[in-house]
Structure 1
Amino acid sequence: MRIERTPTVVPPKYRDRELRYCLGEFLAGATVQGMKDAVLYEAERTIALEVQTEVRTALRDARLVHRHGERRRGTGMSDDWDWTPASPAYARSAGPLLKELETVIDQMEDALARIEKARTSLERRYGYDAGEAGGGPLRELSLPWKQARAARARLVELVAADRENAHEVALREAQYRAFLASEHSVTLPAIAAMSPTGFELAVAAFLRHDGFTVLRERGGSGDLGADVIAVSPQGQRYVLQCKHGSRRTARVDSPDIQRLNGTARQVHHADVVVVVTNGTVTAPARAFARSQRIHCIDRDALVRWATWGQPLPELLTAF
């Protein structure tokens, strides 16, 4: 059904006399085709502005999500009390999200640049044939608009997937922070101030907090490399050797690992062998330990265990 009607258009009455005159002259000389062209131009301009606004909003959302991800990835466990860090798992979980987001943002930025270029061409000129197949400058919006919408749909998928992925580690993050505020948390400076025996007793206490049954809590003469021996809740026998030093002076070398390797399983019947130090482990020592299935907990890993309360079995899977 087609309804024929003649609309009444009332020009605006500007206060400026000259402006009223110019507008009147323009309307007096307007043709029907000219009116159609003007309507088409205004329609295309409006569409272009709406598309531009939509993509700008999507790009802003993507950048906001990216900033949150960077903040999450840019933090990590530390004994620095000047800021609130995140757990390593929580920080790492942002990695896949950020990688995908960078692609999405690149696509949106490219689309937006092309859309703005098309909109500018509409602002500057209007001389194309309205009946030409494919239309005028507005056709330049089609592809980047589809690109931007596809990117925005991917953004929604990424945020949903990241929410699922980050939920579990966020809960663990809360547990770490609660541990940090508890009396069980021990900082590296406090550990450095301990005696070697005090360090062994502290390691035994960390194991008890993780649910282990401690069979030996400190070493001595004739311990054959086993300072602490404990049984996990799953029944595995852990043999730990503790290397303590003031500040960063402790260092575990290959001979230390070799001596422990000779007794931990053969003499102490260990299922899991661990060297714990508040210092460092040399690269050759770490390589030999890896070849013999011996775990090394250096000062960085010790922070996670002693200061943040990350359970030892979980920690060993990360190192």
Structure 2
Amino acid sequence: MPNFEDDGLNRALRKLINEATDDHLLSVFLHFAEGRVAEGIYSELHDHHAVVEAELEHANKLRGGLDTPTSDGCAQAHHQLREVLKAELADAKAAMDEAAGIWHTLRRSSGVDLRARFGPGADTTESGLERAGWLRQQLAAADQRVENALDEHCEELHRLALLEAEYRAFTETSDSISADDFDAMTPVEFEEATAALVHRDGLTLVRRNGGARDLGADVIAVAPDGRKIVIQCKYRSPGGRPVGSPVIQTLNGTARPVHAADIVIALTNRSFTEPARELAAAQNIHLLFGRRLRRWATWGMPLLEVLGEDRQDSDKSDAA
């Protein structure tokens, strides 16, 4: 027994010990053991929380390339990892807080007669320790989810790195058309180059170039799944003005009503005005220029993939 400087304290302590029965001592020991177990569970949850927090901090520093064919894919992979880690961090924080609450409940009960809690027929759920044990059981699954998310992220980045190498190799081939190549063309050559790119993607050409009576359709093609694609090409000399909304109005008035288009595209080697962009978005007309044009023409990414229309192919095949 400890010996305190205060004799009164020593006497009071001896009195309590002398009066304690075996049931008293056993219940105190068991209660102390509960506290140690609860403390250990909290510590494990705290460590898990710290690991997830560190991984999220690392993930928040990840950035995609500014202008590469796979930068969007990298950004999406980073975003998906961050979302998983955010959810896991919130769950880890809730579990840690709950375990801390269970420990504090046990601590507050230290000053009462504990024999009833450990006697025959006692309610084992009263202390909350069983719930703390369940929280610890979830740790293995939580650790596995985090590990899976990290592994999937690494695998996706590896896949994108291989794809990036393929795209960069494509730029060295004659099928790759750069922005400078487009700028050096005539309007007719611009339409012919567009038709060549459409053919490169395995789409069936119906019209290679337009004319005075093309009714807004310079290039017409059919996708393997039967969807009809209508493209209006608007060439601009280097430094030329952006394409305005009248072009989109004309295309919108003919592409679907006249040409029965499923996919409508306005293409330029320059850019579009803001009113043109707003009208195109409202009428479900794809604008192909700038970075999207580079992804298709320079990097060799399939047109339907660039437009986000490739998903419809898989949807239709699944439905069939």
Aligned pair partner of 1:233 in 224, 232, 239? 224
Structure 2 CA distance for aligned equivalents of residues 298 and 148 of structure 1? 54
1:251 aligns to 2:268 (yes or no): no
Which residue does the alignment assign to 2:170?
Answer: 183
Instruction: Note if 1:46 corresponds to 2:36.
Output: yes
1:94 corresponds to 2:84: no
Supply the distance in 2 between the matched residues of 1:111 and 1:63 (Cα, whole angstroms): 14
1:147–1:310 CA distance, 2 compared to 1 (3 A)? farther
Q: Deviations over 1:217-245 (max 9, x none)?
A: 55566655433333433454433122345
Cα shift readout 1:146-174 (whole Å, capped 9, x = no counterpart) = 457558757757987x7999899779746
Distance 1:154 1:127, change over 3 A: same
- 1:118-141: CA deviation from partner (whole Å, max 9, x where unpaired): 5578789953432243899x9355
What TM-score do the two structures reach when normalised by structure 2?
0.60
Check conservation: 2:105, 2:127, Cα contact below 8 A.
no
TM-aligned CA deviation for residue 88 of structure 1: 7.3
Q: Distance in 1 between matches of 2:48 and 2:56?
A: 12
Distance (whole Å) between structure 2 residues aligned to residue 155 and residue 318 of structure 1: 37
Q: CA–CA distance in 2 between the matches of 1:231 and 1:121?
A: 70
Q: What CA distance in whole angstroms lies between the structure 1 residues aligned with 2:289 and 2:152?
A: 28
State the shift of 1:46 in Å.
3.1
Distance in 1 separating the partners of 2:152 and 2:135: 27
Which residue identity lines up with residue 182 of structure 1 in the other structure?
A
Q: Which residue of 2 aligns with 1:260?
A: 251
Query: Counterpart in 2 of 1:242?
Result: 233
How many positions carry a matched residue from both structures? 289
**CA, structure 1 residues 55+307, in 2 after alignment: closer, same or farther (shift >3 Å)?**
farther
Q: Contact 2:243–2:276 (CA<8 Å) still a contact in 1?
A: yes
SS in 1 for 2:170: coil
Please, what TM-score do these two structures have when normalized by structure 1?
Answer: 0.61
Pair 111,88 (structure 1): closer, same or farther in 2 beyond 3 Å: closer
Distance in 2, Cα, partners of 1:303 & 1:67 = 33
Secondary structure at the counterpart of residue 45 of structure 2: helix
Quote the residue 2:6 is aligned against.
Answer: none
Report sequence identity in percent: 30
Query: CA deviation digits over 1:75-115, x for unaligned, max 9?
Result: 4x74259xx735179449828x82x6534422321331343
Distance 1:173 1:223 in 2: 40
The residue that corresponds to 2:318 in the other structure is none
- Contact 2:77–2:157 under 8 Å retained in 1: no
Specify the alignment match of 2:127 in structure 1: 139
